[in-house]
Every structure is written in structure tokens, then in C-alpha cells.
Structure 1
Amino acid sequence: MLVLGLAVSFALFSCDDWTEVESLEIHSPSFEEQNPQLYADYLKDLDAYKASDHHISFVSF
């Protein structure tokens, strides 16, 4: 009974600052934004790989 009373009192008298909804602006930089030169090198290498003769494998379980 004591635990129930404590739970109800915490629910009713919680701090208003902690329960207010506020939006957060989260910015996750892309690979291109973090290192533009490395990304450009990656795209160049990827294009060279796609243009070359290579094996393609497909596996399904």
C-alpha cells in the first residue's frame, strides 16, 4: 500500500519542467559532409568498380 501511495504521489506531483514536451533538432552529418574529399574518392572508385568486369553474387536464405 505504501508503494502504491508513493507511486501516485510521484505521478501527481512531478516537476512540470521535466514533463514538458520540447522538440530537439538532431543533425547527423552525412559521409559527404564529414569528409568531402574521401567521399569524392569513394565515388570515383565505385564508378571504376562498376565499369570493370566483376562477379556478382546473390545469396538468399
Structure 2
Amino acid sequence: MNHLELFATRCSILANEAAKLHDSLPHEVQLPFREGINQVLGGKSYFQAASRAMEEAQKKGAA
């Protein structure tokens, strides 16, 4: 596994953990939590960021 694939895997794991945390939060803090994560990721959801990292790893692996 190369460094990009490892990074993509870690992003995916973090996205899943963030989703679990989000779901466990009281409803009134879910939106601020989601907005904060999205702001850190440049407007992308944590799922989009992990997905993008996985796509990049696959492209690099195919090259």
C-alpha cells in the first residue's frame, strides 16, 4: 500500500468515525458540528473528502 492509499484509507476511517459521532450528538448540535467539519474541509462533507481521497489513490495506483 502506497502513501496515498494509506491516506485515503485513513480519510475513510475518519469519515466513518465523524458520521458516528455526528449521529450520537443531540439534534441541536448536529448542524453546527456538520458546518464546522465542512468549513475545515473547504465546503465538502467528510464523505466527499474521503471519497475524493480514495479516487485519487485509485488513479495513482492505476498510473
Same fold (TM over 0.5): no
Higher helix content, 1 or 2? 2
Instruction: Please report the TM-score for the alignment, with normalisation by the length of structure 1.
Output: 0.32
Bigger relative contact order, structure 1 or 2 (CA pairs below 8 A, ≥6 apart): 2
In our comparison, the structure showing a higher alpha carbon Rg is: 1
Instruction: Please report the TM-score for the alignment, with normalisation by the length of structure 2.
Output: 0.31
